[in-house]
């Protein structure tokens, strides 16, 4: 076995710009001159400890069927206990190839065709795919945005949960795209309302490790016995450590009977077996990646502060909505001509800046855009300059059309 090397370099590099074109990157499958800041995929190399672990695995040279080791369970358990004050048990955890495959499998297993799946919008757009593609009906419960902060209309939530056709809540914790960190009190009340109405909760917690300084995410299943009993939590190192292409994730299901249904679904769908790198990458992330992640969070904090400051000072027509988590920035563009309708498409065509239109995150996303700030500072500044240029052009186009 190749000797394990100790990672001792603490000066992590997030400023180097790497050319990702030609490497099969979905994010960078764009035209020359375009700058993609859309999908939640960072432009940083992953933690040195993960690269070292994968190099050792590659050097071994045999890539047969791979099992799930005790180290993998221990890595998840210790990380969540140390970082998030949530003590999981080994039997609660089930490996899966990704959060998205798990979401779709869970929708199929925990609901019946034509039933309603509740989502709190704006919400991660793939939730809609997992619902609609499996013959279920999305039910939107819009979040309220007051003074730049998201909150939940509990009266509306209670009404939606009381609908007998509503059988599942697809939840995002922390929230994507707005970056809202749900409080223990909010999570406890959500769990109680769901339990009272016989609704189970699938909580996507993939962004939990990207948080602003001084902020802390609360695992859904940790807030009460009720929350643990009715929920499935989806976890992965992929967002925090930029390893989405390795397809390594887990679901945490404390309740025995619910866990049996979930396990059968994941195995029936053949998304419960790891590829040869999936286990090694997760173990390295959760046992040796802490310092790198702390440095990454500081860098992302600075990036988001830079973006918010620039937009407020240089593009006053836009209103940034700073969140407490994720590396994504939610921006209100409703002050633009026509409420900013088609602005994202216009921006890409005219400046090459590719960001996400808010409408894809549900009706509540209309009039907003999402920008990925997980990139070297120089790339971020390029994107902000293009954003400013695009706003000016969009306004001139509207003025010109008004004079005709």
pLDDT at 2: 37
Q: Report pTM.
A: 0.94
CB within 8 A of 144, min separation 6: which ones? Answer: 150, 151, 152, 153
Q: In whole angstroms, how far apart are CA 328 and each of 181, 212, 224?
A: 13, 12, 29
* Range name among 97-111, 285-299, 372-386, 390-404 with the lowest pLDDT average: 390-404
Question: Closest by alpha carbon to 285, among 242, 233, 232, 251?
Answer: 242
Question: Is 80 exceeded by the pLDDT of residue 404?
Answer: no
- C-alpha closest to that of 230 among 247, 251, 255: 255
* Burial class for 336, CB neighbours closer than 10 Å (0-12, 13-18, 19+): buried
Pairing of strands 328-332, 368-372: antiparallel
Q: Are 122 and 361 in contact (CB under 8 A)?
A: yes
Specify the pLDDT at position 1: 34
Residue appearing with tokens 């599942």: 168
Q: How many residues are there in the chain?
A: 404
- List the Cα angle 397/400/402 in 5-degree steps: 110
Residues 6+ apart with CB under 8 A from 33: 352
Q: Cα(89)–Cα(250) distance, rounded to whole angstroms?
A: 13
Cα distance between residue 104 and residue 265, in whole Å: 10
Q: What is the pLDDT of residue 5?
A: 42
pLDDT band at 403 (very low <50, low <70, confident <90, very high): low
pLDDT of residue 11: 79
Tokens of 168: 């599942």
Q: What percentage of the chain has pLDDT greater than the value 90?
A: 95
Residue 273 has pLDDT above 70, yes or no: yes
Query: Could you report the per-residue pLDDT of 334-381, keeping only the tens digit for each?
Result: 999 999 999 999 999 999 999 999 999 999 999 999 999 999 999 999
In sequence order, the 6+-apart residues with CB closer than 8 A to the CB of 304 are 212, 322, 327, 329, 373
Strands (E), 64-191: 93-96, 116-119, 137-140, 144-146, 149-151, 166-172
* CB neighbourhood size of 84 (10 A): 17
Residue 385 three-state SS: helix
* CA distance readout (Å), 266 to 105, 244, 249: 6, 19, 12
Give the integer Cα–Cα distance in Å for 292 and 13: 10
DSSP 302-367: HHHHHHHHHHHHH-TTSEEE--SBSSEEEEE-TTSGGGGTTHHHHHHHHH-EE-EEGGGG-GGGTT
* Model pLDDT for residues 222-235, shown as the tens digit of each residue: 999 999 999 999 99
Q: 3-class SS at 296?
A: helix
Domains annotated on the chain, with CATH: 35-46+290-403 (3.90.1150.10), 52-288 (3.40.640.10)
The mean pLDDT value of the chain amounts to 95
51-85 per-position pLDDT tens digit: 999 999 999 999 999 999 999 999 999 999 999 99
Query: Using CA atoms, how far apart are residues 362 and 376, in angstroms rounded to an integer?
Result: 30
User: pLDDT tens digit string along 170-214?
Assistant: 999 999 999 999 999 999 999 999 999 999 999 999 999 999 999
pLDDT, tens digit (0-9, with 9 covering 90-100), for 6-20: 444 457 999 999 999
């Amino acid at each position: 076995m190749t000797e394990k090397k100790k990672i001792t370099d603490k000066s992590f590099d997030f400023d180097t710009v790497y050319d990702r074109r030609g490497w099969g990157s979905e994010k960078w499958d764009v035209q020359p001159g375009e700058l993609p800041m859309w999908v939640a995929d960072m432009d940083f190399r992953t933690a040195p400890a993960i690269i070292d672990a994968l190099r050792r695995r590659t050097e071994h040279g045999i890539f047969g069927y791979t099992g799930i080791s005790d180290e993998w369970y221990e890595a998840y358990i210790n990380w969540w206990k140390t970082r998030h004050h949530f003590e999981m048990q080994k039997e609660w955890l089930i490996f899966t190839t990704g959060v998205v495959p798990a979401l779709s499998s869970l929708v199929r297993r925990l609901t019946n065709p034509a039933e309603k799946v509740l989502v709190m919008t704006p919400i991660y757009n793939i939730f809609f795919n997992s619902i609609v593609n499996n013959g279920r009906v999305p039910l939107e419960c819009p979040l309220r945005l007051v003074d730049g902060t998201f909150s939940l209309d509990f009266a509306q939530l209670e009404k939606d949960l009381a609908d007998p056709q509503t059988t599942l809540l697809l939840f995002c914790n922390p929230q994507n795209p707005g970056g809202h960190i749900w409080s223990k009190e909010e999570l406890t009340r959500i769990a109680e309302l769901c339990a009272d109405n016989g609704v189970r909760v699938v909580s996507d917690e993939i962004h939990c490790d990207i948080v602003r300084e001084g902020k802390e995410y609360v695992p859904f299943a940790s807030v009460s016995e009720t929350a643990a009993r009715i929920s499935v939590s989806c976890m992965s190192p992929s967002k925090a450590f930029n390893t989405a292409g390795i397809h390594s994730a887990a679901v945490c299901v404390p309740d025995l009977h619910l866990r049996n249904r979930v396990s059968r679904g994941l195995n029936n769908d053949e998304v419960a077996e790891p590829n040869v790198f999936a286990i090694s990458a997760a173990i390295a992330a959760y046992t040796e990646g802490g310092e790198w992640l702390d440095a990454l969070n500081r860098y992302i904090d600075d990036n988001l502060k830079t973006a918010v400051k620039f937009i407020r000072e240089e593009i006053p027509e836009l209103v940034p909505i700073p969140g407490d988590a994720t590396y994504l920035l939610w921006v209100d563009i409703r002050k633009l001509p026509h409420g900013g309708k088609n602005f994202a498409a216009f921006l890409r065509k005219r400046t090459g800046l590719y960001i996400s239109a808010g409408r894809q995150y549900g009706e509540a996303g209309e009039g907003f855009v999402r920008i990925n700030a997980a990139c070297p500072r120089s790339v971020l500044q390029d994107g902000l300059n293009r954003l400013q240029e695009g706003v000016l052009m969009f306004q001139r186009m509207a003025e010109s059309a008004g004079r005709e």
